[in-house]
Amino acid sequence: MKSILLLIVFVFSSFQLASAENSFVSEIESSHKKEQFLSKKAVSFDMDIFFGGNQAFKGKVTMLTDSTKIRMDMKDGVSLIYDGEKVYQTPSDAKVERARFGIFTWSYFFLFPYKLDDPGTIWQDYEDNKLNGKTYKTQKLTFDKGIGDSPEDWYIVYADPNSNVIRYSAYIVTFLQSKEEAEKDPHAIEYSKYKEVDGIPISTRWEFWGWREDKGLTDNLGYADLTNIEFVDVEPGFFSKPENSKIVE
């Protein structure tokens, strides 16, 4: 009986610790109006991304707010569609580099404030709360094995100490490379120029930076501008497999 009571106390204490740690997440979600965001069916916006001196994307993104379906329509007539199970590209003969990476990465960066407590997310303290001379609220995010395409990715989130909105997130990209290789070149995304859309604060400017644990932000790597952000209804079949398409692995 004594051992069972000790076990109960341990589990309860662990639960309390996890809840305390999650206050960081809950404050961010509250500031980003997560419940209000998820009450909307879908969101769309035009996006122009330059990274490493090249245009990485130009077109319109439409997705369900719960991230289960995504569509990216590019200005050159190529579309990428995630129907909840598979990613399709149309036309099938178009040459799109890192298509699967693109449809999931850019949409994840947009939805990031609303996905902090997704199943498989693991949070831990990150004591260095200064970034280039300014103080933020910080924690580190990792993932359980088998979560998404790149479960070894990690993020260090810097939240504004007053408003609790996300200002920066350092991260690594393990897509098509090992964690060891990715950690040689970590990046950071800066969320700025927040604009309220139906009362929900959304960053309309992303800056991409090099990032080092001992130096903070280093070189500017690129940017993204988001315009014409609106919550929308979508027609049936909008996220369905299109004709003249192929599966993107």
pLDDT of residue 106: 96
* Strands annotated E in the chain: 42-51, 54-64, 70-74, 79-82, 87-90, 121-125, 130-131, 134-135, 137-143, 155-159, 166-171, 187-197, 200-212, 216-232, 246-248
Strand pairing partners for 247? 88
pLDDT of residue 173: 87
pLDDT of residue 238: 97
pLDDT of residue 178: 86
Q: Is residue 76 part of a domain?
A: yes
Q: Is residue 62 part of a domain?
A: yes
Q: Is residue 29 part of a domain?
A: no
Mean pLDDT of successive 10-residue stretches along the chain, which has 249 residues: 35 37 90 98 98 93 98 95 96 90 95 95 93 96 73 92 97 86 94 98 98 95 98 96 92
Domain of residue 225: give its range: 34-248
Q: Residue 181 belongs to a domain with what CATH number?
A: 2.50.20
Q: Is residue 22 part of a domain?
A: no
- Candidates 225, 22, 32; CA nearest to 113 is 32
CB contact at 8 A, 188 and 180: no
Helix axes 23-31, 2-21, angle to 10 degrees: 30
3-class DSSP state of 181: helix
Q: Spell out the residues 6+ positions from residue 19 whose beta carbon is closer than 8 angstroms to its own.
A: none
Tell me: the pLDDT tens digits for 165-194?
Answer: 999 999 998 877 889 998 899 999 999 999
Number of domains, the chain? 1
CB contact at 8 A, 70 and 79: no
Q: Is 163 exposed, middle or buried (0-12, 13-18, 19+ CB in 10 A)?
A: middle
Q: Is residue 174 part of a domain?
A: yes
Q: Is residue 240 part of a domain?
A: yes
Q: Is residue 20 part of a domain?
A: no
Q: Is residue 122 part of a domain?
A: yes
Distance, in Å, from the CA atom of 163 to the CA atom of 137, rounded to the nearest integer, reads 11
pTM above 0.85, yes or no: yes
pLDDT of residue 1: 38
